[in-house]
Amino acid sequence: MDAATITSWMREIDVAVRAERDHLVQLDAAIGDGDHGTNMVRGFEAVVQALGADDGSPPGKLLVLAGRTLVSTVGGASGPLWGSALRSGGRVLGEQMTFEGNQLVEVLSAALASVKDLGTAAVGDKTMVDALEPAVDTLRSRLHDGVALDQALDAAAAAAEAGMRSTVPLQARKGRASYLGERSVGHQDPGATSTALILRALQKAATKGA
Amino acid sequence: MAVETNQMRKFLNDPANVVKESLAGLAAAHPDLLRYDAAAQIIVRQGAPKRGKVALISGGGSGHEPLHGGFVGLGMLDAACPGEVFTSPVPGQMLAATKAVDGGAGVVHIVKNYTGDVLNFKLAAEDAADEGIKVTAVVIDDDVAVQDSLYTAGRRGVGATVLAEKIAGAAAESGADLAKVTDTVKRVNARARSFGVALSSCVPPASGKAIFELPEGQVELGIGIHGEPGRRRAQLGPASEIVDVMVEAVVSDLKAKKGAKVLAFVNGMGGTPLLELYLLYGEVDKKLRAAGLEPVRNLVGSYITSLEMAGASLTVLELDEELTRLWDAPVHTPALRWGA
């Protein structure tokens, strides 16, 4: 994988959040304030634009640029959270021009660590961590077991989607949904939902390049 | 051209530009008090930075007008950072505002306790520190409707924000140093409690749809300021009974000493007329006295709103001599003005 994989990943996210925008808004309106879809579309539109203007940066730098762009355009909680995630992930790759599956695991682990640190959330709090953590764990274990990268990424995306669905019966303990107390139960978390879209987009981007 | 949405007619040109166009209008209406930096999307007090004066900045999602831009001016804020509707601003705005108003004495960030606001202000404060600007941040969390705050993102920042901006703004205007102004914001937050009630939802311009549906005859108790549903719904009873709930929630949590002098702030959420707000104030005044508190100052009006939501919140601040003096000090902003 290389810089083109990152650019393609960001494009796939842009397409996905645009297609799911109303769904994300709906989910957020139920237990938050209804702006998640709009925010994600604004952010990744800006990321695609920023990456399009870039001239030959290595993949790590592109991730840092994408993260910086999200921080400066999204606002809300998802801006700083995904922004810090991509910046931390990008720093793992430094200046190298290509990277392998194992390094992708490190990138995603760093992204997860940064989200958990900034958001002080853990699995079960009904947040994006419920989708991201199982995805990272699944990718790591599948690659460790010798599964091919595209299949491992497919499994990771599926784990994120399962994690997303697992948020439905949970009571939110972080973020704006936490104010609802028990009334957040029965709703799927919008942040976990967009996170599942982002992991599925990664699988599509990596498979396309292969 | 008015744009008709599914449930509400709004004055809009393009829903995507509502915040920018509103800020430009605010600046056109009050050129003596403030200016709009469109590139940075911030509202800055005229004459800033003022050498040697501690500066106050706040910010947050739009849709709560006049908060925060309407409180920029003499004796209150030095700059405001408005985000998109109900979306926290980005760190670049806070950094630009911090640089625009720093007069060398430091800058206080007043942050309402919402995950997005807290995270974005945190990143901005780190950037400002890198540039050598002394920044302190105080998180406002006065909403008693949020229970079990250990298991949530904590209490939300609501009505106390307005009072903290006014009172700490007066402290800064009088020449107090960074530590003192910061401490003043903290004291207001520590002594204020709020509780809100909605009679209707609100309609964000971008989606054009109400955030929640309130069945006929029901009220939403314990709402925030973003159209987020409250803790529970109840049958709409007489105003007197609703005020009982509000006063009980606030007073039982504030635990002020008997006979304490308080400021009672009855705030409209955007869609409730003054006719009703004063009716509420009459009830509040009576019930606070019955609860052994003495309302010696008050504020009645729509100051921290939730678009066109019908509803109201009550904030009670326990006063002391210093806070009372700072409250009475001159203020001249688009939304609040006395003594100047």
> Which residue from A minimizes the CA distance to B114?
A176
Residue B69: what pLDDT?
Answer: 98
Same structural domain, B180 and B295: no
Whether residue A34 and residue B92 make contact (CB cut-off 8 A), yes or no, is no
- pLDDT classification of B1: cutoffs 50, 70, 90: very low
Per-residue pLDDT reduced to its tens digit, A165-178:
999 999 999 888 88
The topology (CATH level 3) of A3-209 is 1.25.40
Residue B214: what pLDDT?
Answer: 86
- pLDDT classification of A179: cutoffs 50, 70, 90: confident
Q: Which two tokens stand for residue B264?
A: 């009672």
Question: Average pLDDT of B284-290?
Answer: 98
Q: Which of B190, B206, B221 is the last residue of a domain?
A: B190
Ramachandran class of A56: left when φ > 0, alpha when ψ lies in -120 to 50, beta otherwise: left
Residue B151: what pLDDT?
Answer: 66
Question: Average pLDDT of B151-157?
Answer: 82
Q: Which of B119, B151, B209, B232 to mutate to test the interface with A (most CBs of A within 10 A)?
A: B119
Same structural domain, B90 and B152: yes
pLDDT above 70 covers what percent of chain B?
A: 96
Q: Is the pLDDT of residue B152 over 80?
A: no
Residues of chain B that touch chain A, judged by Cβ-Cβ distance less than 8 Å: 61, 83-92, 114-116, 119-120, 122-123, 145-148, 151-153, 156, 204, 206-207, 209, 211-212, 224, 226-229, 231
On the 0-12 / 13-18 / 19+ scale of CB atoms within 10 A, B185 is buried
- pLDDT classification of B132: cutoffs 50, 70, 90: very high
Q: Is the pLDDT of residue A208 over 90?
A: no
- pLDDT classification of B232: cutoffs 50, 70, 90: confident
Mapped onto helix, strand or coil, the DSSP state of residue A33 is coil
Same structural domain, B132 and B264: no
CATH number at residue B39: 3.40.50.10440
Distances (CA, A) of A158 to A161, A165, A187, B200: 5, 11, 19, 40
Same structural domain, B110 and B212: no
Residue A209: what pLDDT?
Answer: 58
- pLDDT classification of B150: cutoffs 50, 70, 90: low
CB A103 within 8 A of CB A140: no
Domain that holds residue B127: 19-190
Mapped onto helix, strand or coil, the DSSP state of residue B7 is coil
Same structural domain, B253 and B119: no
Same structural domain, B81 and B230: no
Q: Which two tokens stand for residue A27?
A: 């989910």
Same structural domain, B212 and B261: yes
Per-residue pLDDT reduced to its tens digit, A136-170:
999 999 999 999 999 999 999 999 999 999 999 99
Q: What is the dihedral of CA B130, B131, B134, B136, to 10 degrees?
A: -50
Would strands B218-221 and B135-140 be described as parallel, antiparallel, or unpaired? unpaired
Whether residue B153 and residue A176 make contact (CB cut-off 8 A), yes or no, is yes
Same structural domain, B202 and B111: no
Beta-bridge partner residues of B312: B197, B268
Whether residue B152 and residue A173 make contact (CB cut-off 8 A), yes or no, is yes
Distance of alpha carbon B196 from alpha carbon B283, whole angstroms: 15
* Least confident segment among A99-103, A181-185, B318-322: A181-185
Whether residue A79 and residue B90 make contact (CB cut-off 8 A), yes or no, is yes
- Which residues of chain B does A176 touch, with a Cβ-Cβ cutoff of 8 Å? 114-115, 153, 224, 226, 228
- Domain spans of chain A, in order of start: 3-209
Residue B206: what pLDDT?
Answer: 80
Same structural domain, B171 and B281: no
Mapped onto helix, strand or coil, the DSSP state of residue B252 is helix
Which of B83, B148, B209 has its CB closest to that of A181? B148
Whether residue A74 and residue B90 make contact (CB cut-off 8 A), yes or no, is yes
Q: Which of B190, B206, B233 is the last residue of a domain?
A: B190
Residue B7: what pLDDT?
Answer: 56
CATH number at residue B208: 3.30.1180.20
State whether residue A120 sits within 8 Å of chain B by CB: no
Residue B143: what pLDDT?
Answer: 94
Same structural domain, B123 and B256: no
Mapped onto helix, strand or coil, the DSSP state of residue B311 is strand
Number of domains in chain B: 2
CB B220 within 8 A of CB B210: no
Per-residue pLDDT reduced to its tens digit, A94-151:
999 999 999 999 999 999 999 999 998 999 999 999 999 999 999 999 999 999 999 9
Q: What angle (nearest 5°) sits at the alpha carbon of residue B255, between those of residues B182 and B324?
A: 45
Q: Which of B190, B219, B242 is the last residue of a domain?
A: B190
DSSP-derived secondary structure letter, B63 = S
Same structural domain, B174 and B81: yes
pLDDT above 90 covers what percent of chain A?
A: 85
Amino acid at A176: R
Spell out the alpha helix ranges (H) of B32-145.
91-101, 115-130
* Least confident segment among B213-227, B235-249, B250-264: B213-227
Question: Average pLDDT of A33-58?
Answer: 93
- pLDDT classification of B110: cutoffs 50, 70, 90: very high
Whether residue B153 and residue A175 make contact (CB cut-off 8 A), yes or no, is yes
Would strands B42-45 and B55-62 be described as parallel, antiparallel, or unpaired? unpaired
* Least confident segment among A73-82, B77-86, B172-181: A73-82
Residue B267: what pLDDT?
Answer: 98
Same structural domain, B238 and B300: yes
> Which residue from A minimizes the CA distance to B150?
A173
Question: Average pLDDT of B171-197?
Answer: 98
Chain B nearest-CA distance from A70, in A, is 9
Q: Tell me the whole-structure pTM to 2 decimals.
A: 0.88
State whether residue A68 sits within 8 Å of chain B by CB: no
Per-residue pLDDT reduced to its tens digit, B69-89:
999 999 999 999 999 998 899
